[in-house]
């Protein structure tokens, strides 16, 4: 019986391709974090970065904003509606709907690497982490979770240690001593397999030091030629958007 891939091999497979930020959107009426945007990313040969947050009934909904006004043009918050209610909301001219993470995993089905940004602020992260873990349990394909919140990494390290995990970092407004301490504390709490770093922070002593120590560094959000040059000099893979 063949042995399972090592964690290092799984991580290498995960970051082998650039990732389309929230799917490949912004042109041809494609809306972020929708099935069409994910299919477009796969067709372009890219991986997919997407966002999840928890619904009122404890499911992982694929949507970036906590509020529904920007994308759906309606009041209310994602956490105030059940997954079934969220699925009925129409977005954009194509009439897309808000999918669950389980639906997106079934759609992608291992056809490209996935980065799942888990959006749960504060320390009460278990409901969303549990929902993501449930959805990932049967999934076969290169995938990782990541978050700005180091408590997400701690939860997965304790409860689903086989899942690859990343720490998202920005130094914006945090370049002082307190910010540096916060970054090191977050690193210790999350114990990530990789960093996802704000491209605006390069060059960064923190990112360079972790990369020199063997921790891969991804960078977001790459939109311009200058961003690509900064990424090439400071990171191992990109999370990009195509300008509209």
Sequence-distant (6+) residues with CB within 8 A of 119 are: 51, 52, 53, 64, 66, 128, 147
pLDDT at residue 31 tops 80: yes
pLDDT at residue 2 tops 80: no
CA-CA distance, 72 to 91, in Å (whole number)? 5
What the block records as the tokens of 126 is: 């278990």
pLDDT at res. 192: 98
Within a domain: residue 185? yes
Contact between 122 and 148 (Cβ < 8 Å) = no
CA-CA distance, 236 to 47, in Å (whole number)? 14
What phi and psi, each to the nearest 5 degrees, are found at residue 217?
Answer: -120, 120
What the block records as the tokens of 71 is: 């994308």
Helix (H) or strand (E) holding 197: strand 194-198
Within a domain: residue 21? yes
Contact between 142 and 14 (Cβ < 8 Å) = yes
Within a domain: residue 109? yes
Percentage of the chain lying above the pLDDT 70 cut: 98
Percentage of the chain lying above the pLDDT 90 cut: 93
Instruction: Give the range of the structural domain holding residue 172, as residue numbers without chain letter.
Output: 7-240
Average pLDDT over residues 55-82: 96
- Identify the CA nearest to 118 among candidates 141, 140, 98, 101: 101
pLDDT at residue 16 tops 80: yes
What phi and psi, each to the nearest 5 degrees, are found at residue 30?
Answer: -80, 130
Sequence-distant (6+) residues with CB within 8 A of 93 are: 29
pLDDT at res. 226: 96
Within a domain: residue 60? yes
Within a domain: residue 66? yes
What the block records as the tokens of 235 is: 């990171």
pLDDT at res. 28: 83
Q: Is the dihedral of CA 185, 190, 195, 197 positive or negative?
A: negative
pTM of the complete model = 0.96
CA-CA distance, 53 to 86, in Å (whole number)? 12
pLDDT at residue 244 tops 60: no
Query: What pLDDT digit, counting tens, does each position of 121-169 carry?
Result: 888 999 999 999 999 999 999 999 999 999 999 999 999 999 999 999 9
Q: Read off the pLDDT band of 26 (50, 70, 90).
A: confident
pLDDT at res. 122: 86
Within a domain: residue 1? no
Within a domain: residue 54? yes
- Three-state DSSP class for 233? helix
CA-CA distance, 44 to 235, in Å (whole number)? 21
The CATH code of the domain that includes 79 is 3.20.20.190
CA-CA distance, 214 to 208, in Å (whole number)? 10
If phi > 0 it is left, if psi is from -120 to 50 it is alpha, else beta; for residue 114 that is beta
Average pLDDT over residues 26-34: 91
CB atoms within 10 A of CB 243: 8
Q: How many domains does the chain have?
A: 1
């Amino acid at each position: 019986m063949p042995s399972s891939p090592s964690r290092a091999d799984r991580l290498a497979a995960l970051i082998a391709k650039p990732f389309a930020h929230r799917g490949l959107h912004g042109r041809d009426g494609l809306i972020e974090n929708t099935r069409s945007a994910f299919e477009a990313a796969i067709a372009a040969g890219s991986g997919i970065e997407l966002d999840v947050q928890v619904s009122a009934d404890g499911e992982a909904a694929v949507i970036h904003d906590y509020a529904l006004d920007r994308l759906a043009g309606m009041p209310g918050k994602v956490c105030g509606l059940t997954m079934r209610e969220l699925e009925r909301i129409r977005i954009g001219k194509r009439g897309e709907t808000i999918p669950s993470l389980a639906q997106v995993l079934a759609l992608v089905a291992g056809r490209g690497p996935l980065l799942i940004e888990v959006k749960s602020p504060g320390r009460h992260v278990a409901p969303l982490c549990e929902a993501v873990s449930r959805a990932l349990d049967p999934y076969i394909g290169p995938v990782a979770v990541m978050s700005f919140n180091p408590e997400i990494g701690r939860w997965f390290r304790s409860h689903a240690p086989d899942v690859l995990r990343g720490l998202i970092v920005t130094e914006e407004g945090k370049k002082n001593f307190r910010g540096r301490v916060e970054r090191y504390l977050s690193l210790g709490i999350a114990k990530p397999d990789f960093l996802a770093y704000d491209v605006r922070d390069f060059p960064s002593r923190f990112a360079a030091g972790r990369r020199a120590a063997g921790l891969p560094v991804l960078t977001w959000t790459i939109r311009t030629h200058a961003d690509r040059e900064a990424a090439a000099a400071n990171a191992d893979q990109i999370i990009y958007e195509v300008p509209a």
